[in-house]
Structure 1
Amino acid sequence: MTIIYASAADALRDLVRDGDTIAVGGFGLSGNPTDLIEALRDSGARDLTIVSNNMGVDGKGLGILLENQQVAKVLASYVGENKLFAQQFLSGELDVEFVPQGTLAERLRAGGAGIPAFYTKTGVGTPVAEGKPHADFDGETYLLERGIVADIALVHAFRADRAGNLVYRHTARNFNPLVATAGRTTLVEAEHIDDEAYLDPDTVVTPGIFVQRLVMALPKVKDIEQRTVRQRPTGGGANQPAPASDGAAADSPTPTFATA
């Protein structure tokens, strides 16, 4: 049963404990459950194991948990945008298990589906395979990977209904649906919660059976991990971009891409 809470802090208050394993959706700064991450920081819980594709950047996303010395171990596939992460890893403060990105996705999916382990060729013959059981199938060597079941899952969704059914927006979908199924208790912040009607079943990505706690996401400017800009071309022509609708000067920088 999904319960709607007044705030992210209320949703986490009686739940998180020192030493918990917490799976977190997002990719870079896209689709991060920012309010729930901030509430986790404010909870003061320590010695956490974080399962996420990456650890945000310095001062943003999961990076704020590193700043607050709350993380003991990280399972991630990419951490190259966070200098503090590198410092804590190299100094021995942080235990890190690097997981190939596809393997991380499948470990979360397996955990959510009740599959304790699976074999994959990814990582065979590399440091990823060290200490893991191997087996041969049809003349090929595979290694055994464990499914991931987290104590708590933190998820960001675009829209939810009162039953906890979820849909996601564009690239912000990323790891969120996998994380949502892998938590013993799943907390979701949604940008829109429809309290009067249910989502169209044909559009639902995560069924509400996986969601225990739901909170409305606070409005905020979405951070962009790396903004790349170019000078706006001058002159006319059918292939030239239209003038900026906000009245910006014709030669002002124009974003060429941004994460969701």
Structure 2
Amino acid sequence: MEFLRFLAFVAAWGFMWRWVVKNRGSWNIFYGNLVGAAGGFIVAMVVLSITLSLFPSALTQTQSSETQSAAAALMPELERSMQPRPVIASTPAESDNLATYVASEPQNEPSAPESALLPNYSKRLPASLLEKDFKDNVHNDFTVSRRLAGSHPNADKSMMAFMMCEPFIKSAMRFSASTAIASAKSASSQRFKDQTYTVSSTVSALNMLGDNVSYGFDCSVQQVDAKDADKAAWRLLDLKLKKIDS
């Protein structure tokens, strides 16, 4: 197959080269050969690309197999790195000892132009987000985190809460695409009753002046309708952002 691909490449190059020279018009033979060589090479590369897409080489297939094997080998490491703590599922007794979440007053202060936050951002935040929409549109890792948490109704879902805070935080920013949230390793979380969590970490984003501004955030979310995968959602209870003085 490699030899036939080489013959097709040479044949396409030679045919195009000859055609350009024969139809060069008023050009002299030197310019005709120069243009023919360049044009023939371009056509030959197109033919080569087509043959590679239709008939992948053995080397390409081997590399693809090696890549898939490496990904399969790394999956357990990914799962372990995303695990928030050694024991994911909590017992009912542990759940009974959790405190009840108490919401605080929302932040409604107007944002100055040098702020990366939208003015009165708390009024613009979505009330909740379906897990299904989040998983399909944003994070494939969310499925792994949910599987790690297990199906126990009182399982610790701190990692899921950290991921679900991301779209809420982005909704508070003037330029959501510039939002950069610190990794889960540097975050802390407090767990309350009824699958309620407060995640604390840092985030940075651009303001209207093009400067990168850093904030500390406390994001409180609650999982609802967890038994039905199609209806499971996370409700935003509170989001507080405070500028970090540089």
Q: Larger C-alpha radius of gyration, 1 or 2?
A: 2
Where is the strand percentage greater, Structure 1 or Structure 2?
Answer: 1
* Interval containing the TM-score (normalised by the shorter chain): under 0.3
TM-score (norm 1): 0.17
